[in-house]
Chains A and B, each alone.
Chain A
C-alpha cells in the first residue's frame, strides 16, 4: 500500500494501523552515516537525472573526488521536487512535499557534521479531517490520531536540495540534455543525447523515473536482461498531479479524502490545507491525486479546464463555497511532463523486495540504478531516493575494481 492509500485508509478506519505513530516516533535518532567505505574506483561516472537521487549521487561522488557529470533532461534540477514562489508569500512544494520520516533525516542526508544551520519543520498531523463519499462530506477527525508525518515550515524540499546537496556541484550538471541511447561493453559506457552529443563514462547511474524506462524512451544496448525487464513491467505507475488553489477565505478542513477508500480502484485523491502550520496569511488548498482516477484529469490536457472541473467538485463538496472565493491556481501535472511521464510506482506487484532488488541490480558492472522507485525501505519518498543513491555510490566505488 502506498503512503497516500495508507493515509486515507487510516483516516477512514481510524484504528486499523494503530501503531504507526509509534513507529514514526521510534525512527527518531536511528541515523546512519553513509560515507564510510573503501574506494576502489578512480574512473568517470555519469549520472542520468538531476532529481533527488541524481543530486545525492553527485553530492557523494564529489565528496570522494570522483570525476562525474550529471545529465538532466529538463531545464532545471529537482525532477519531481519543485518549488513555486509566485502563488503566495510562502514557497510551495509543487512536487514532493512531505517528509516521510523523522526530522533528523535531513541532517543524516547531508551527512556532514560541519554544516552549520537549521531547518524548521512542522508535524503534519491534521486536526480536522473529512471524507467525501457518495455526495456527502463526513467529518472524521479521529483519523488524525493515527497519522503523522512532517512538512517544511517556510521552505521546501527543493530549497533543501538546492542549498545543501546541489550547491557544490552545479558546475557538474548539464541541463536540457535528454539522453536517447545507452551502449555499454567491456570498454565502458557511451551515452547519446537528443542533440547527438556523445558522453562516455566507466560507470553510469540511471536515476530517471521508472515510467521513462517503461515507455522505452531510452534505448539500451545490449537490452536489459529479461528478469529486469519483467520487474520493470510489474510496476504500476499511475498518473499523478498536484494543484494549488488560492482562496480569499478558508472553508475546508485540514484534510479531505475523496472517494471510495477501500477495494479495487479506490481513488487516491486528497485535498489539504497547504498552509498547515506555515504561519501564512493566505489560504491555499492543495490537491494531491495519484492513482487510476488521476487519468481523468490528466486527459483534459488543459490547465484551465482542469481547474474549472476541480472547482465544480469543490463547490459540490463545500456547498458552493469554492468558486466565489477562488483567486487563482497552479497545476503541476507529472504525467504531462515528457521527462517524468507519471507519478511514482504505487504497486510493485508480487514479491516487492525481490522486484525492487532486481530493479536496483547493476547490469554488467557498468549500469547502476537508483531513485524513489527502486528503494524498498522508503519507496516513493525523497529521502528514499537519496538513500538509494548513496547505496549505489557505495556499490560503484566500493565494490568495483580499478578501471582498465
Chain B
C-alpha cells in the first residue's frame, strides 16, 4: 500500500527544479509519529544540512546531478499508548542526505540517540458506582538510540514531504532494552531562507 502511494505521489508530482542551491534555509520537519504502528504521536525536527557537495554522473541518455550533504539537529517527539502510557523523546540526530536535482526527491540515512521519558499508568482506581477511573502514573527515564532511513521530496516552493521509518532500542534501566520501531510521515518546510555567503 505505502509503496503504491509513494509511487503515485512521485509520478504525479510536477518535475520541479531543486531548491535554489545558492540559498540555505532552516528546514523544519513535522509529522505524525507512530511507534510500533499502534502508538500515535507527533515529532518535529530541524535537520540542518551542511557540507553540501554537488556531483554529476553521466548516464546513457543524460547526466544526473545530485547533491549530498550531512545533516544534524534535534528531534523532539511525543506519543501515547492509549490507557497505558505517554512518552516524550528528545534526541540528537546526525546523517547523510542525497538529493536529486530533477524532482527534488531525496533519501537520507541517520542515526540518533537521546532521552526517553515514559509516564506509565501503574494503577487504575475504579469507582464501582459511577465507573469513573482515576489513574496513578509512574515516570520512567531511558535512552532511545535510533537509526532511520528517510525518503522525501522538496518542491520548488518551501514545502516538501517525508516518510521516515526507524528502528532502535528502548533502554529503560529498570527493564532492560527492547526493540523500538516507528514510522513517521509528515511535511517539511524551509524557514528563513537566506543567501549563502
What is the interface of chain A, defined by CB distance below 8 A to chain B?
A: 14-15, 18-22, 24-26, 28-29, 31, 102-104, 106-108, 110, 112-123, 125, 127-128, 139, 141-142, 144-146, 148, 150, 153, 164, 277
Contact = CB atoms under 8 A, between A and B. Distances in A.
A21 B38 contact: yes
A115 B128 contact: yes
B176 A118 contact: no
A144 B129 CA distance: 31
Report, nearest first, the 4 A-B pairs whose CB atoms are least far apart. Answer: A25-B82, A141-B178, A107-B131, A104-B131
Contact of A123 (B121, B129, B130, B131): B121
Contacts of A115: 128-129
A119 B122 contact: no
Contact of B176 (A25, A110, A141): A141
B82 A26 contact: yes
B133 interface: yes
B125 A18 contact: no
Given A118-B128, A121-B124, A122-B122, 8 more contacts: A15-B37, A104-B133, A116-B128, A118-B126, A122-B124, A141-B176, A141-B179, A153-B123
Given A118-B126, A121-B124, A31 B84 contact: no
A165 to B, nearest CB: 11
B191 to A, nearest CB: 34
Contact of B83 (A19, A24, A141): A24
B115 to A, nearest CB: 19
B129 A114 contact: yes
Contacts of A22: 38, 82
Contacts of A106: 126, 128, 131
A164 to B, nearest CB: 7
A276 to B, nearest CB: 10
Contacts of A24: 83
Given A120-B124, A123-B122, A103 B133 contact: yes
A119 B128 contact: yes
A107 B126 contact: yes
B139 interface: no
B50 interface: no
A277 B129 contact: no
